[in-house]
Structures are given as structure tokens and as C-alpha cells.
């Protein structure tokens, strides 16, 4: 029953999209500047039906209707209700439905919230957005239908992968999707702007809020994903430069560049085509990321069930998108003649964009290079964290310095006093850096530079607050928290301790200034898993501090899976992180103990960073 | 004058640090080795049979006095370059290592060019 | 925009999409088959039953040697065992069994129950020795000739097709 309802609504949505396109085309030809009422009504109806469609799927998960193949493969009747619901978008088919919902809702909101912009521009945006919606609706119906039927109906579902049964991962996809699927609306708007020649600062105003919304959610989405990786995957890291993680980072770089170049377009009516390229690039990168992740051409920790036919479909869609964008870009491109002064804000925005493009291309190249070598020369290589760290980090140092100087462009005009200022700040950063190194007695060349440059950014941002009256809070908050983010990552990376060893029950081991005892192994039985809880005593020999950590090995029932739960003790100064895993055919356990300083501040910095995005959004809403 | 002193402090500070950093670090090596039987994990993050064995082998090689590079060469000889998360500098990976910097330099030139060209028209 | 730039951009994008298309039809699975054709430099294994060390000297006289890594705890090894038994009847081929991370009692019981196809029986208790041969999971088998050149590599249990492949190589003399 639910299967038929779902399919019917999907078909209805296709019809609605066609109708919207039809009426929009008709409306464009009319000489007035009014969008006819039925377009609004259809768009609202489209939103409502797609939401109903989604709730139908949620209902199917809630009542465990295993006649739907998606429910059968990703749910189980004994699963907690919360994870039954989150299971809806925890799989390929359901998450595509979420895609379409965001495409549709953004399409509707853009239509009703931009009433003071020209009719033709809005209608063209609507048409292009609906073409995107149609593309995904057809993909869902033809290839990834969440309402597909299984016959005979299975009695029980296969269950959701236990590492996905986590609150962070339940909210991770929606946040991330609002981010990168949300970028579709300024893809459409950019196309519409080129087609209708609506290329002034008003165009920048019409998309600014959307860029800020998507950037903020993308930031939060990446954060939640990292937190999940830290808590759930048990390696103690939060970023692995995995292809899937990179796929979410690439649009983020493009969005960050876009936010900055939009400022120039809005204030100075300059950099129009560059802004358009960034709008197009953001969504193209989002779709490309989806292609890489879902088609299975990459090896990654996070796997979706792979199927080459999906790959073909998204690839065709991606190619069409790219080629159309390029076509309009080539057709409409006019060399600009706006004035850019070397000591103006524009220059520093350009510098920001320059670095963002560097990061983007580095990460893109690192992600795609193994595919290239495999396809062209059949040699398989891996590109992982050590590559990205060694290419990107040295450049981050320069970037942070420029980021600190950038907003205060008058420094260049009156050179003397300001170079003195810069030197005071650098000297201050170096002294603080030395103090930190002296206190913790551990250092490496590159982390020193990272810490100095991030301190430089922090100090100059703070002095900026103290000096100027009319300050842009959102900018300060974002830049300051970015400085803190890099600082904390640097400190965390540099001063973390890691011990890796094997231990059996009752045994004790002394490593450096720690003594570890595996005191006990407790067996517990929970509703959907059994677990072995290790009781590990960790004694810090230099301070004689005693603590007990309780890592777990869990055996989940449906599906039968082994997971390792880290035991984490957090406070504002450091995290203690310990995982225990069994070694096959042995009574030894592999123990990984980590002390990670200032871990929680990394999360807080990212929250503050996205808060800067929210602030800017409110300011923008108030001004317009 | 002041600048020179700062520069000197800078230089001394870093040169002393560079020389202090020569020990072969086991964890760094583990993090650069891909666990071949896992999904996208390094052997530092994995407890699989393979990762356990490889950790022992790395330890032996360090005790034999092998340098980090020699250990990587040994293992990539046995398992292929797939096992290294940090691809080697060679002809095949030339673009991977240098293209980002080429972009950086070219981007810099474009910006300088743009500013020069456009600010003249004031 | 100059035509050349347009052209370059277009070529780059088409190249990118083309590579994506090619890789869609390629398997992403990793294996060590690129080692075929390499020479095994040093062969050194401890014997499982006796105080003896096997070196390349022991295999010099064989036309072909199949090095098979196995263990009693490994379920797929049971599956491939009948194939090994069949192969042990071949004249041109000697089989070296390397018992991997196993206990001697269990290993000998396994062979007693299922038959012993091995001409040489060696052990690698720690698993470290196998790294020298690029082993990353068992069962794995390596076919070498009398010059210690790797002719074939088999990852996972041997099947009937592998059996035919081996026969083809060893009877091609």
C-alpha cells in the first residue's frame, strides 16, 4: 500500500515540475512583471507533496513495512524508534529523496522571498531548478526507488549498520544536504542571471542569504560528521582526508570563496563572472562528490551499496550540467573593466579566493589522482593524510597571516606605524608559542609556524575589535574562530600522546610515564547487542593520577557486526581516549590510548565559525 | 636593524628544532601505511591480523636501523605503491605533488596581472 | 574569451568526464598481481616438523614450485584443499605449504584429516616472514619457476579454473 502511495506521489511530482516549467515559460512571454498565481500554487503544492512522499517513507520505516526493499535492507522491527526514523535517510534511496526535498523547498522559498527582483530572472531560476528536480526524480524512479517492492515479503529486515546507529549520524546527512544541495539554488540563479543578463549587484543580494545558509549548514554538517568519526570509528582522529570527507569539503571551499567574492560584487559591482563561476562550481562539485561516493569508483571508509548503473546516471547528469554551464559561460562572457586597487578590500578578497582555489584544487587532485592513475596506467596508488598535510599546511601558514592583515587594508596606506604593529603581533605570537613549547616540551618545526600564524590572526582580530568602532561582528567571529580552530588543531596535533600496545586480562604494562592494567572484562547484554567491557586502569606515574577507562567491544545482533566503542573522558583541557579491540586467535587485546589536548575546543571553534555565518545571515536579512 | 634581529631569532629558533627531529617515529610510519584488508584505514587505526603483523615488521625494521624511507621502499616493493598513503615523488606522481603549487603560482600571477592592468585606469 | 582558453577548458572537462566513465567499468579491488614477473630474491622458511630451514637451494631442482600459505583456522583453506591434493599428483610441480600463524598440533591434525598435499612443510608462526612475499590474507598461493620468477599469484582459495591455469603453465615446457 505504502509502496503504491509513494510511487504515485513521485509521479505526481514529476507532473508538477513539468507544469511549473510549462507555466513559467508561458509567463515569461507576457509583457508585465507579474508572476501568475498558479505558479506559486503549483510550487507550494510541489513542496507539500514531496514532503508527504517523504513522510510516507518515514511511515514505512516506522511500521517496518518490509515489502519495501529499502526498509527491508536498512531496518529491523526491534530497532529503537529514533533509528527507525533516521534509517529513512541513512541509505542511498532515502537520502536521494532528501535531496529532492531540499531542491524543492529551496526552489519554493527562493520564488516567494525574492519578490523585488525581475520576473524573468526569478522564473528562469525556477525553471532551471525544476530541471534539476526532474533529473533527480527520474533518477529515483528509474534507478533508486525507495518504494520498490519485494516479493515475497520478508518477515524481518536486515537491520541498520550499527556504526550508523548514532545520534550524530542521524542529523549529519540533513545538515550536510541543506549545505550542498542548497547550493543548487544559486547554481540555478547564476544560470538565470546569465540568461537574463541580470548581472548587477542586485543579483548578488538575491543569492547572498542562500550562500550564507548553505555555508553555515555545510560547516555544521562537516562538524557533526567529524564528531561522529571521532566517537564512533575508534581511531581517535576526526579528519582522515577520506574521499567521502573530501567530497563534502570541496563545495565548502567553493562556498567560502563565493561568500567573499559576493561582497565585492555587492559593494563594488565587480568580479561578476568570477562569482558566477563559483556559484556554478559549488553545485557541480556537490554533484560530482555524490557521483564519486555513490558510484563506487573510490575506495572509502564510508560505503554506500555500490551499483555502476547509478554511476552512469549521475555521470550523464553531471556532464549535462557541466556542459550547459560552460556553454552559457562562453556565450555570455565579457571581459570586465572594473577598477581594482592594490590596497583595497577587493585585493584581499581575491587573495582569499586564490588560496581557496589552491585548497580546492589540492584536495580535488588528491581525491581524483588515484582514479586517474588507475584508469590511465592501471597502477593503483593511495593518497592519504600525509599527502594533504604536507602540501596544505605550509600554505595555511601564509594564508593565516594574510587573513589577519586582509580586513585592515589601511595598513598598507600608512606603512610605518602598521609594520610596527605587525611586528609587535608577530613577536607576541612567537613569545606565546615559546611559552607553550616550554610548558609542554614537545615541538616540531611546522607546528610552531602553525601556532605562531594562528596566534597572529587571533591577536590581530582581537585588536581589531578593540580599535574600531563600527565593526563587522560576523566577520570578526568567523575569522577569529577560524584562527582558534587552526590553533587548537595545531596544539592538539602537536601535543597529543599515543600509545599502542597489546595486553591480556590481569596484565600490566609500563610505557613512558604511564602504567596500564587490564583489571577486568565484564560481559553485558543489551537489547540489541552484547558487549565485552574492559576495565582499564591508567596510572600517570609522574602525577600519580589514577583513572579508569571502560572501552567496549560490541557484538550487534541485526546485522551481526562487531564494533569497538571508545572510552572517552573529556574536560576543557584534554580528552583521554582509549579503544580496545580483540586480536584473532589470541587472548591479548590491542589497546590504543591517546591523550588529546584541547579536543573539545576544536568542536567549539567550528560551532563559533558557523555562528559567524548565522550572524552574517541575520545582518543581511535586516539590511534588506 | 630590528627586522634583522627578528629574522635572526626566527632562524635560530627553527634551525635548532629541525636538527632535533631525526628519530624514526613508529606512529608516523603506521599512519602512512594502508591496511590492505580494511576499508580506507591506516594500520595505526586497525586491529586486523594484517595490521598486527605489519606493525611487528615495522618495529623489526626500525630496530635493524632502517630509515623511514627504507621501510616504505621495502613495503611498497612487496605490496605495491597502494600501501603508502603518501605517494612517492616520481615521474608518475609528479603532477600530484606539483600541480597544486603550479596553481598557486599561476593564481598569484593572475592576481598581480589583474591589479596592475585594472588599477592603471584610475 | 580567447578561443584557445575555451578549447583548453573544454578538453580538460571532457578528459575528466572520460576518465570517470572509464573508471566506472573498472574494478576498484586491490590485489598484488602486479608482482607477477618479479623474482623472489631470498627464500627462507623454517620447517614445521623438523629443525631445518628451507632456502632457494631446496627448490632449485623443481621445474615449478607452488608456495601455498594456509592455516588450520582458515575456513577457505579447507575449501581449496582438494585442489591442492589434485595438484600434488603433478610431476612438474612441487608444493611448499607455509603454515601461517598457527599451532603445530592443529596444523598437523588438519593435514591428517584432509590429507597432506605438501612436498615441503614450513611455518610462519609470527606471520612476519609472509610479508616478504606480499601476503596480506590467507589463503594465498604463488607459483614460481626454477629461476624463482613469479609466474602466477592466487589470492583467496584456489578453484578449478586456477587449477587449469596452473596445469597450463607447468605443462607448457
Check pLDDT > 60 for residue B13: no
Examine the domain organization and report whether A135 and A186 are in the same domain.
Answer: no
The CA distance from B37 to B19, in Å, is 37
pLDDT reported for residue A32: 86
Radius of gyration of chain B (CA): 22
Q: Which of A181, A177, A145 has its CA nearest to residue A14?
A: A145
Block means of pLDDT (10 residues each) for chain A, 624 residues, are 88 96 93 89 95 94 90 85 88 91 95 91 96 95 88 83 82 93 95 92 92 96 93 84 91 96 87 93 94 77 63 92 94 78 75 92 94 86 91 87 69 48 73 71 71 82 75 84 92 87 90 91 87 93 90 84 89 92 86 92 95 91 78
CB contact under 8 A, B96 and A444: no
- CB contact, 8 Å: B75 with chain A? no
Q: Are A87 and A79 in contact (CB under 8 A)?
A: yes
pLDDT reported for residue A420: 67
ipTM above 0.90 for this complex: no
Fold of C38-170: Glutaredoxin (3.40.30)
- CB contact, 8 Å: A444 with chain B? yes
CB contact under 8 A, B53 and C128: yes
Whether C26 is catalytic: no
Residue with cell 563587522: A472
Q: A124 to chain B, minimum CA–CA distance in Å?
A: 32
Grid coordinates representing B71 are 621501510
Q: Are A555 and A523 in contact (CB under 8 A)?
A: no
State how beta strands A561-565 and A567-570 pair.
unpaired
Examine the domain organization and report whether A158 and A182 are in the same domain.
Answer: no
* Residue A489: inside a domain: yes
Identify the burial level of C13 via C-beta atoms within 10 angstroms of its C-beta, where 0-12 means exposed, 13-18 middle and 19 or more buried.
middle
State how beta strands A508-511 and A514-525 pair.
antiparallel
Whether C151 is catalytic: no
pLDDT reported for residue A413: 45
* Residue A245: inside a domain: yes
Grid coordinates representing A541 are 606515574
The full 3-state SS of A120-133, as one line of letters, equals: HHHHHHHHHHHHHH
User: Could you say which of 1.10.530.10, 1.10.8.640, 3.30.360.10, 3.40.50.2000 is the CATH number of the domain covering B24-88?
Assistant: 1.10.8.640
CB contact under 8 A, C136 and B79: yes
pLDDT tens for B43-81 read 888 878 888 889 999 999 999 988 999 999 999 988 888
Examine the domain organization and report whether A192 and A307 are in the same domain.
Answer: yes
User: Which three-class secondary structure state does DSSP give residue A516?
Assistant: strand
CB contact under 8 A, B60 and C128: yes
* Residue A618: inside a domain: no
Check pLDDT > 60 for residue B10: no
Examine the domain organization and report whether A210 and A285 are in the same domain.
Answer: yes
Identify the burial level of C45 via C-beta atoms within 10 angstroms of its C-beta, where 0-12 means exposed, 13-18 middle and 19 or more buried.
buried
Q: Please pick, among C40, C48, C77, C122, the residue that the annotation labels catalytic.
A: C77
Which of A290, A306, A333 terminates a domain? The answer is A333
- CB contact, 8 Å: A351 with chain B? yes
Q: Which chain B residue is nearest to residue A235, measuring alpha carbons?
A: B45
Examine the domain organization and report whether A146 and A179 are in the same domain.
Answer: no
* Residue A407: inside a domain: yes
Examine the domain organization and report whether A35 and A139 are in the same domain.
Answer: yes
How many domains, chain A?
Answer: 4
Examine the domain organization and report whether A79 and A115 are in the same domain.
Answer: yes
Which of A290, A310, A333 terminates a domain? The answer is A333
* Residue A106: inside a domain: yes
CB contact under 8 A, C126 and B56: yes
Task: Give the domain range for residue A594.
Answer: 498-600
Examine the domain organization and report whether A155 and A7 are in the same domain.
Answer: yes
Confidence of residue B21 (pLDDT cuts 50, 70, 90): very low
Q: Where are the alpha helices (H) located in chain C, listed in sequence order?
A: 3-24, 56-59, 75-87, 104-114, 128-131, 160-170
pLDDT reported for residue A151: 80
- The DSSP line for A72-134 is HHH--TTS-HHHHHHTTTSSHHHHHHHHHHHHHHHHHHHHHH-TTS-HHHHHHHHHHHHHHHH
* Residue A352: inside a domain: no
Confidence of residue B120 (pLDDT cuts 50, 70, 90): low
Angle of helix A272-295 relative to helix A184-196, nearest 10 degrees? 140
Examine the domain organization and report whether A509 and A490 are in the same domain.
Answer: no
pLDDT reported for residue C92: 86
Examine the domain organization and report whether A308 and A435 are in the same domain.
Answer: no
The CA distance from A326 to A341, in Å, is 30
pLDDT reported for residue A412: 38
* Residue A373: inside a domain: no
Examine the domain organization and report whether A8 and A126 are in the same domain.
Answer: yes
Average pLDDT over residues C113-140: 90
- CB contact, 8 Å: A269 with chain B? no
Residue with cell 562487531: A562
pLDDT reported for residue A610: 94
- CB contact, 8 Å: B37 with chain C? yes
The CA distance from C54 to C96, in Å, is 10
Backbone CA torsion sign across A207, A210, A214, A217: positive
Angle A297-A239-B18 (CA atoms, 0-180°, nearest 5)? 115
Examine the domain organization and report whether A517 and A535 are in the same domain.
Answer: yes
Q: Are A46 and A16 in contact (CB under 8 A)?
A: yes
Amino acid at each position: 500500500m505504502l509502496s503504491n502511495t509513494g510511487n504515485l506521489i513521485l509521479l505526481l511530482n514529476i507532473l508538477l515540475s513539468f507544469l511549473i516549467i510549462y507555466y513559467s515559460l508561458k509567463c515569461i512571454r507576457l509583457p508585465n512583471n507579474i508572476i501568475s498565481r498558479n505558479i506559486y500554487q503549483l510550487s507550494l503544492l510541489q513542496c507539500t507533496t514531496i514532503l508527504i512522499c517523504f513522510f510516507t517513507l518515514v511511515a514505512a520505516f516506522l511500521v517496518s513495512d518490509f515489502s519495501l526493499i529499502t526498509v527491508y535492507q536498512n531496518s529491523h522491527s526491534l530497532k529503537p524508534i529514533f533509528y527507525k526514523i533516521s534509517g529513512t535517510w541513512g541509505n542511498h534511496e532515502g537520502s536521494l529523496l532528501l535531496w529532492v526535498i531540499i531542491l524543492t523547498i529551496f526552489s519554493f522559498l527562493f520564488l516567494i522571498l525574492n519578490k523585488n527582483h525581475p520576473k524573468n530572472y526569478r522564473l528562469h531560476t525556477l525553471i532551471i531548478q525544476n530541471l534539476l528536480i526532474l533529473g533527480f526524480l527520474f533518477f529515483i524512479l528509474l534507478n533508486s526507488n525507495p518504494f520498490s517492492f519485494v516479493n515475497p515479503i520478508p518477515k524481518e529486515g536486515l537491520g541498520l549498520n550499527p556504526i550508523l546507529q548514532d545520534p550524530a549520524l542521524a542529523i549529519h546527512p540533513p545538515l550536510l544536504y541543506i549545505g550542498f544541495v542548497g547550493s543548487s539554488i544559486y547554481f540555478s540563479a547564476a544560470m538565470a542571471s546569465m540568461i537574463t543578463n541580470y548581472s548587477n549587484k542586485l543579483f548578488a543580494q538575491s543569492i547572498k542569504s542562500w550562500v550564507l545558509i548553505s555555508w553555515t549548514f555545510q560547516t555544521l554538517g562537516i562538524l557533526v560528521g567529524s564528531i561522529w568519526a571521532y566517537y564512533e570509528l575508534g581511531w581517535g582522529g576526526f579528519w582522515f582526508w577520506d574521499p567521502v570527507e573530501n567530497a563534502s569539503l570541496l563545495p565548502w571551499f567553493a562556498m567560502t570563496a563565493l561568500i567573499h567574492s559576493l561582497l565585492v560584487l555587492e559593494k563594488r559591482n565587480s568580479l561578476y563572472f568570477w562569482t558566477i563561476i563559483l556559484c556554478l562550481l559549488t553545485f557541480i562539485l556537490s554533484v560530482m562528490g555524490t557521483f564519486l561516493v555513490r558510484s563506487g569508483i573510490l575506495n572509502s571508509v564510508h560505503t554506500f551499496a555500490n551499483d555502476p548503473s547509478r554511476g552512469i546516471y549521475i555521470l550523464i547528469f553531471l556532464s549535462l550540467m557541466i556542459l550547459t554551464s560552460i556553454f552559457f559561460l562562453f556565450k555570455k562572457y565579457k571581459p570586465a573593466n572594473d577598477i581594482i586597487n592594490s590596497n583595497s578590500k577587493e585585493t584581499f578578497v581575491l587573495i582569499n579566493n586564490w588560496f581557496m582555489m589552491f585548497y580546492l584544487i589540492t584536495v580535488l587532485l588528491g581525491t581524483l589522482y588515484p582514479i586517474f592513475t588507475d584508469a590511465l596506467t592501471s597502477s593503483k596508488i593511495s593518497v592519504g593524510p600525509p599527502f594533504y598535510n604536507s602540501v596544505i599546511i605550509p600554505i595555511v601558514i601564509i594564508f593565516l597571516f594574510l587573513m589577519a592583515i586582509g580586513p585592515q587594508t589601511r595598513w598598507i596606506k600608512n606603512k610605518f606605524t602598521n609594520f610596527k604593529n605587525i611586528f609587535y603581533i608577530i613577536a607576541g605570537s612567537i613569545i606565546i608559542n615559546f611559552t607553550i613549547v616550554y610548558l609542554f616540551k614537545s615541538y616540531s618545526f611546522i607546528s610552531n609556524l602553525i601556532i605562531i600564524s594562528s596566534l597572529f590572526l587571533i591577536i590581530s582580530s582581537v585588536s581589531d575589535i578593540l580599535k574600531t568602532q563600527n565593526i563587522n561582528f560576523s566577520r570578526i567571529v568567523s575569522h577569529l574562530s577560524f584562527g582558534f580552530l587552526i590553533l587548537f588543531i595545531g596544539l592538539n596535533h602537536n601535543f597529543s600522546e599515543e600509545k599502542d600496545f597489546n595486553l591480556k586480562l590481569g596484565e600490566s604494562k609500563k610505557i613512558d610515564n604511564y602504567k596500564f592494567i587490564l583489571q577486568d572484562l565484564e560481559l553485558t547484554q543489551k537489547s540489541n547487542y552484547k558487549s565485552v567491557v574492559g576495565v582499564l586502569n591508567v596510572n600517570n606515574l609522574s602525577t600519580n593520577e589514577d583513572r579508569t577507562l571502560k572501552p567496549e567491544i560490541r557484538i550487534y545482533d541485526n546485522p551481526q557486526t562487531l564494533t569497538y566503542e571508545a572510552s572517552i573522558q573529556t574536560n576543557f583541557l584534554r580528552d583521554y581516549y582509549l579503544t580496545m579491540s580483540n586480536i584473532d586467535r589470541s587472548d591479548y587485546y590491542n589497546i590504543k590510548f591517546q591523550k588529546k589536548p584541547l579536543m573539545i575546543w576544536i568542536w567549539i571553534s567550528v560551532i563559533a565559525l558557523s555562528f559567524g555565518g548565522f550572524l552574517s545571515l541575520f545582518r543581511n536579512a535586516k539590511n534588506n | 636593524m630590528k627586522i634583522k634581529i627578528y629574522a635572526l631569532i626566527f632562524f635560530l629558533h627553527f634551525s635548532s628544532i629541525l636538527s632535533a627531529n631525526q628519530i624514526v617515529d613508529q606512529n608516523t610510519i603506521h599512519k602512512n601505511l594502508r591496511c590492505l584488508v580494511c576499508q580506507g584505514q591506516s594500520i595505526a587505526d586497525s586491529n586486523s591480523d594484517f595490521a598486527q603483523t605489519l606493525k611487528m615488521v615495522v618495529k623489526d625494521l626500525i630496530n635493524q636501523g632502517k630509515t623511514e624511507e627504507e621501510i616504505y621502499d621495502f613495503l611498497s616493493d612487496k605490496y605495491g605503491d597502494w600501501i603508502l598513503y603518501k605517494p612517492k615523488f616520481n615521474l608518475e606522481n609528479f603532477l600530484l605533488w606539483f600541480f597544486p603549487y603550479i596553481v598557486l603560482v599561476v593564481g598569484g600571477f593572475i592576481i598581480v596581472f589583474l591589479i596592475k592592468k585594472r588599477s592603471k585606469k584610475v | 574569451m580567447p578561443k584557445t582558453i575555451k578549447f583548453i577548458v573544454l578538453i580538460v572537462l571532457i578528459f575528466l568526464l572520460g576518465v570517470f566513465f572509464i573508471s566506472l567499468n573498472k574494478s576498484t579491488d586491490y590485489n598484488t598481481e602486479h608482482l607477477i614477473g618479479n623474482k623472489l630474491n631470498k627464500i627462507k622458511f623454517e620447517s614445521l616438523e623438523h629443525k631445518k630451514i628451507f632456502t632457494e637451494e631446496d627448490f632449485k631442482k623443481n621445474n615449478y614450485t607452488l608456495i601455498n600459505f594456509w592455516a588450520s583456522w582458515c575456513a577457505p583453506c579447507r575449501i581449496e584443499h582438494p585442489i591442492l591434493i589434485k595438484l600434488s599428483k603433478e610431476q612438474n610441480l612441487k608444493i611448499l605449504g607455509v603454515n601461517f600463524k598457527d599451532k603445530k598440533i592443529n596444523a598437523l591434525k588438519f593435514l591428517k584429516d584432509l590429507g597432506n598435499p605438501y612436498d615441503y612443510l614450513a611455518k610462519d608462526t609470527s606471520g612476519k616472514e609472509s610479508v616478504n612475499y606480499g601476503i596480506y590474507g590467507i589463503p594465498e598461493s604463488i607459483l614460481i619457476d626454477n629461476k624463482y620468477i613469479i609466474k602466477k599469484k592466487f589470492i583467496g582459495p584456489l578453484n578449478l579454473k586456477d587449477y587449469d591455469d596452473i596445469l597450463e603453465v607447468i605443462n607448457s615446457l
